[in-house]
Structure 1
Amino acid sequence: MSSSAQFEIPENQNPADAISSVKFAPHSNKLLVASWDKHVYLYEITSGIGTLINKFEHRAPVLDVCFGKDDDEAFSCGLDWDVRRIDLTTGAQNVLSTHSAPANRLVYSNTLSLLISASWDSTLHFHSLSGDQIPASLALPSKAFSLSLTPTKLVVAMASRALHIYELSNLHLLISESSATDSAINTIEAEPWQRRESSLKYMTRAVACMPNDAGYASSSIEGRVAVEWFDPSNDSQARKYAFKCHRQTVDGVDVVYPVNALAFHPVHGTFASGGGDGIVAIWDAVAKRRIRQYHKFPASVAALDFSTDGKFLAVACSPGFEDGKEDLGEGSVSVVIRELGEVEAKGKAAK
């Protein structure tokens, strides 16, 4: 592909501190970027160009962001403990709930009009946005590190290598039936559909669900990715596997990097992984193959997301602990957009 297939957001429009999240809009190529510089950025992505539309100031570093029911609604969470709704047209913000520790992850179910936030306080908050239902809280056994949704399931990756899989319909029913209280939030109890222990030996870094609702991939701080299926049958569980990735030989030593980000292609069902080595690779989960690996990006890959039509891949680069740097150098934070060729992320038939 030509060099025009990849471009960076102009440096003067980049966040001023590390990037924590990138998310494409559901119906367009608008892109949200959350940063430790206490802002959420909104860009318009077109072929060869990324343009800053607006940025929205917060009280503290922003750890995650996502779109809501349409391309004009967004949600954010961060070190101020708040979960916020942002009207991207007017810039108005309102707090939906407040955790008792930093809120680090968000996912939104358009089918159920349900926003789910996770926090280092070991809870999930559920915000039903179709009515005036007050938020509901669910206690977890440990801190949640990553969340991912399918149309029917919620996967929560936690500390101690624990994973909970919930059926969204059951959660939504419990939230709807929760009794109103005098407090700002209801408390619910919900048993997971499945409890699992990660196939990976070390701490989970990211989890991402397959677009066909069949399973998920997870990654660890120790350069590995696992692929698993929801179906609990013995035959299906026998298909799960894990593999090494994001490792480099430096001066004869095998250096292992964290796999910080995972994202599934919405059309082809393949997935991208991004690591602390500054590398992004595309994988075929079914054929168990790496399809391609891109040239090293400017810094550690902190976050990834595909556009809804699968034509763009957003790559957020920020120096990480693996770089041995405490301060961000000029130009070290960047958002790189990859324009994908027609078959660039297409899987290969399994042998």
Structure 2
Amino acid sequence: TEFKLKTPPEDGISSVKFGPNSSQFLLVSSWDNSVRLYDVITNNMRLKYTHERPVLDVCFQMVCSETIVGTHDNAVRAVEYSSEVNGILTGSWDSTVKLWDPRSPNCVGTYTQPDKVYTMSLCGEKFVVGTANRKVYVWDLRNMGYVHQRRESSLKYQTRCIRCFPNKQGYVLSSIEGRVAVEYLDTSAEVQKKKYAFKCHRTKEGGIENIYPVNAISFHSGYNTFATGGSDGYVNIWDGFNKKRLCQFHRYSASIASLCFSHDGTVLAIACSYMYEQETLPENIPEDNVFIR
């Protein structure tokens, strides 16, 4: 079963995130300058925060209070809350990641990245940062004095999304060119032999292959399977260990901009938005919607 959330954002949806402890509450950020909190069980919008600029990412923290923790010199693209250090990590187009103490407006540390930060994912005590020019940095929150690993994406084109395996052994990385890579953090030759990449989110029409960006990845916490969402409007579910696609949902009316499995894996939030991939705008821009499945 699947239903649409009422009162969706009025512009492109940038991120959807479920709360850490239940599948009831969903945060949605948007280019309409808003952050909305939905109760997906009753299908109503509980709260709406309006900001001065588009909001590109959201995350949950355990506490209910508002604190302005600080600023970056450019757009903040990725936000993660780390329960390991009780800190908020923000990745920005100013080519830095900053660590914040949520109880006070103090920046705990600023860490230079190789380029603009496009995506970021926590992996227990480590976190993985994907930047422009296909760079991937792995950091360790226990020792932020140096970069733990400097890598390059194994995909030829721009990185779109990185999400870490729930078992913390590696991460999945997607690109704008209809490909996904499964990577492992252990640098030993034995483990690195297991890494691979595959094509997805491509359609054939009249003998021509259309290739779409893979914008979103979300892991199911129980099965270590993951969902990918592309600008082809499809959501695919994959078994990364056995290298096979388990299923494909119906085609949605717009690009899949963001995906999030609830913590218990019972529901999947699917954000559908026109993402301005084409040079010419379509006559009717599809509505922005969030589906709960």
TM over 0.5: yes
1:169 Cα offset (Å): 1.3
Q: Amino acid of the residue matched to residue 19 of structure 1?
A: I
TM-score (norm: length of structure 1)? 0.80
Query: C-alpha offsets along residues 150-172 of structure 1, whole Å, 9 cap, x if unaligned?
Result: 1121000011111001112113x
Unaligned runs of 5+ in 2: none
Q: 2:36 maps to which residue?
A: 41
- Is contact 2:123–2:165 with CA below 8 Å preserved after alignment? yes
| 1:165 aligned residue | 138
Match of residue 267 from structure 1: 222
Q: Which stretch has the larger CA shift, 140-149 or 124-133?
A: 124-133
Unaligned runs of 5+ in 1: 73-86, 88-92, 172-189, 339-351
Structure 1 equivalent of residue 91 of structure 2 = 118
- Contact 1:260–1:302 (CA under 8 A) maintained in structure 2: yes
Structure 1 residues 130 and 58: alpha-carbon distance in aligned structure 2, compared to 1, 3 A threshold = closer
CA displacement at 1:279 relative to structure 2: 0.3
- Equivalent position to 1:30, from 21, 25, 32: 25
- Answer whether contact 1:114 1:126 (CA < 8 A) is retained: yes
* Alignment partner, residue 50 of structure 1: 43
- From the superposition, tell whether residues 169 and 250 of structure 1 become closer, same or farther in structure 2 (CA, over 3 Å): same
Q: Deviations over 1:251-282 (max 9, x none)?
A: 32100000000111111111000000000000
Q: After alignment, is 250-259 or 127-136 more displaced?
A: 127-136
Which is worse superposed, 198-207 or 123-132?
Answer: 123-132
Letter in 1 for 2:248: Q
Deviation per CA, 1:271-326, whole angstroms, max 9, x where unpaired? 00000000000001100000111010121000000101100100000012335564
Post-superposition offset of 1:50: 2.2
User: Normalized against structure 2, the TM-score is what?
Assistant: 0.95
Q: How far apart, CA to CA, are the structure 1 residues paired with 2:68 and 2:284? A: 33
How many percent of aligned residue pairs carry the same amino acid?
43
Q: 1:62 aligns with which of 40, 55, 63?
A: 55
Q: Which residue of 1 aligns with 2:268?
A: 313
In 1, Cα distance between the equivalents of 2:241 and 2:147?
A: 26
Q: Which amino acid aligns with 1:62?
A: V
Conserved in 1, the CA contact under 8 Å of 2:70 and 2:106? no
Deviates more, 1:127-136 or 1:27-36: 127-136
1:84 aligned partner? none
**How do 1:75-224 residues align onto structure 2 when only pairs under 5 Å count?**
87=65, 93-129=66-102, 134-171=107-144, 190-224=145-179
Cα 1:102–1:134 shift into 2, 3 Å: closer
Query: Matched residues in 2 for 1:129 and 1:94: separation?
Result: 7
The answer to whether the Cα contact below 8 Å between 1:69 and 1:113 also exists between their aligned partners in 2 is: no
Partner of 2:288: 333
Aligned partner of residue 56 in structure 2, secondary structure: strand
194, 205, 216: which one pairs with 1:239?
Answer: 194
Q: Within the alignment, does 1:19 sit opposite 2:8 as a pair?
A: no
What is aligned with 1:253? 208
Aligned residues: 292
As a proportion of its length, which structure holds more helix? 1
Give the SS at the match of 2:143. Answer: helix
Aligned residue for 2:5? Answer: 9
The residue type equivalent to 1:149 in the other structure is L
AA of the residue aligned to 2:10: A
Instruction: Give how far 1:63 is off.
Output: 0.6
- Equivalent-residue separation in structure 2 for 1:323 and 1:317 (angstroms): 16
Aligned CA distance change for structure 1 residues 209 and 14 (closer, same or farther; 3 Å) = same
What is the DSSP-based 3-state SS (H/G/I as helix, E as strand, rest coil) of the residue aligned with 2:80? strand
Further displaced range: 96-105 or 235-244: 96-105
Return structure 1 stretches of 4+ with deviation > 6 angstroms.
Answer: none
1:153-206 superposed Cα distances (whole Å, 9 cap, x missing partner): 1000011111001112113xxxxxxxxxxxxxxxxxx32111111110000000
**Aligned 8 A contact 2:274 2:285 in 1:** no
Which segment is superposed worse, 326-335 or 159-168?
326-335
1:174 paired residue number: none
Q: Which has the larger radius of gyration?
A: 1
Corresponding residue for residue 80 of structure 1? none
